Amino acid sequence: MDNINNIMLQAAEAFKQYRKVSGKQKAVFLRAIAEEIEALGMELIHTTMEETNLPEARLLGERGRTIFQLKMFADLLEEGSWVEARIDTAQPDRKPLPKVDIRKMSVPLGVVVVFGASNFPYAYSTAGGDTASALAAGCPVVLKGHPAHARTSAMVADAILRAVERTGMPEGTFSHVDGGNGFEIGKALVMHPVTKAVGFTGSFAGGKALFDMANQRPEPIPVFSEMGSINPVVLMPEKLSTSSESIAKDYAGSITLGVGQFCTNPGLILGVDNADLQSFIKVLAAEIEKVSPSKMLNAGIYQNYEGKKTVALAQENVTTEAESLVEKTDSIQGLATVASVDADVFLANPTLHQEVFGPYSLVVKCKDLAQLATVIQHLEGQLTATFMATETELQANDDIVEALRNISGRLIFNGVPTGVEVCYAMHHGGPFPSCTDARFTSVGPDAIKRFVRPASYQSFPDSLLPAELQDTNPLNIWRMVDNEWKK
């Protein structure tokens, strides 16, 4: 582990300089990373296709999203208001006590360890959202590559290092650690005394282990883990009575999109058991049976899918409604599957509440809306929750809407949860166990807030303040001055 120690110490040394780099300079750096990744061309795409079984079109789109994220954070840094500067000027004549001058802004935490994700080799991995937002915040990044796409990770890491050199960033601003011998390396990275935060996307077991390690340190640190979700979907009776076929077709597509290997895959569907729900199940089953199986990301994920699916389907009173009838042509192709169960059984069996990562969904048949609300109250924290309903139903069932909002980070009306827009209003996070901290998002500009902390300056000479807090506002950013937003 000597090499790990050297990497971490180099990153800590880099932080002393990198934290002082201006927003505009960091923006140039992030744009350079985007350019270097783009310059890898189709060689990167083809390498990732070999390693992950993901199709070219999907990877081209994901690479585009990754480049967009880097440029988005560059734009954020150039504008500059993200630091949330607050200025309360002195009032020396205030009675009974004078008021001192005090100013506050966000400052970087320090060295951030990022773990690459298996299912998004670009957007959540080496140069993905965690890395981009940490670098934007002013934090050096030590990236542990995912072994499922080691060559891809190494290629992207080299692109970042070229951008470091090209833009004159301090050596150690970014480091890449090979993903082999995963547990011991991961533990060494999280437990190293210079590590100040961790970003992770993956399984509950992996994310919770990192969280527990971080809290056992002499100096506990934040771990921002996204750990999965079953993303419940509520089918309201009135909406289902007029749209059961179209909803079923939409959800067949959402369940099987990307072989179900998305954190927002709709793994649980709730409805009142009646003729319309049976019609929905029938159409959904017919659509699922037509889906051609595709290779999953790797053998480990396929085996995990098959194992958890087998356990779920073996539970008492669970009915397998449909499985893809198209013949497999490869051993690690995941067969799309839909099952159903009565709500009484679901409520009594915690095994059925667990995520089955892959093209699988469970329909829970409730006696009435009261029991449906009870099921929601027994669910754990989720990334998303979806309400398929008329506007009238939405208004008349505020208790169900509120129950869904209380367990989810993103509430969807008449749509599918798959597809995560990268924008200011997106919140990609949720209550535990979907994430370790529901207050933060891993997608969108606000992801930068995970890797900063507020710092106040009291009675400082103006010339010694950061530019963001100086009286003349040399960066021309929006600031709150004496309770008013000003430039």
| Cβ atoms within 10 Å, residue 398 | 9
Structure tokens at 160: 């970042």
Distance CA 359, CA 257 (A): 8
Closest CA to 228 of 405, 357, 121: 357
Strand 223-226: give its sheet, edge to edge.
Answer: 174-177, 141-144, 111-115, 195-201, 223-226
Q: Contact, 153 vs 40, CB < 8 A?
A: no
Spot the catalytic one: 51, 62, 263, 355. 263
Closest CA to 235 of 366, 359, 355, 113: 366
Distance CA 37, CA 31 (A): 10
Distance CA 111, CA 483 (A): 33
DSSP 10-48: HHHHHHHHHTTS-HHHHHHHHHHHHHHHHHTHHHHHHHH
Structure tokens at 31: 């744009």
Distance CA 251, CA 464 (A): 58
Spot the catalytic one: 226, 321, 323, 393. 226
Query: Hey, CA dihedral for 414, 418, 419, 424, is it positive or negative?
Result: positive
Q: Contact, 318 vs 348, CB < 8 A?
A: no
435 is catalytic: no
Q: Contact, 376 vs 232, CB < 8 A?
A: yes
226 is catalytic: yes
Distance CA 207, CA 196 (A): 16
Q: Count CA atoms within 13 Å of residue 477 on its CB side.
A: 25
Q: Which amino acid is at 135?
A: L
Q: Respond yes or no on whether the N-terminal peptide bond of residue 96 is cis (omega within 30° of 0).
A: yes
Element (H, E) at 52: helix 41-52
Q: Which amino acid is at 87?
A: I
Q: Contact, 351 vs 408, CB < 8 A?
A: no
Catalytic residue numbers, as ranges: 226, 263
